[in-house]
Amino acid sequence: GQNIDQPTEMTATEGAIVQINCTYQTSGFNGLFWYQQHAGEAPTFLSYNVLDGLEEKGRFSSFLSRSKGYSYLLLKELQMKDSASYLCAVRGRAGTALIFGKGTTLSVSS
């Protein structure tokens, strides 16, 4: 089976840095993905990690430790528009579909 855990909610202020954690237990591992989803909209792809370490993409970075079954998404210089759900998704075996966690709802206030 597969299990993906994320905090349900987080809050932060504009300009701050926030780290959203994700832990997973899967049969096989072929990549971890982060998506952003605004209310009522589709998930949009943010980042992808398949090897250990940090991937940086502008204000967003994602980290992976395969031995710990752990990832985080780091958002810097937060803006109001970053208020959304952040979804952690894992591909277990190569060629299989992404399985999503429940998502973390981030609220950014001024």
Residues that bind another protein (CB under 8 A): 30-31, 33, 37, 41-45, 48, 87, 89, 91, 94-103
Q: What's the CA gap between 98 and 95, in Å, rounded?
A: 9
Structure tokens at 9: 């909610």
> How many CB atoms are located within 10 Å of the residue 98 CB?
16
CB nearer to another protein: give 69 or 101: 101
Smallest gap from residue 88 Cβ to another protein (A): 10
Smallest gap from residue 41 Cβ to another protein (A): 7
Smallest gap from residue 44 Cβ to another protein (A): 7
Q: Are 87 and 101 in contact (CB under 8 A)?
A: yes
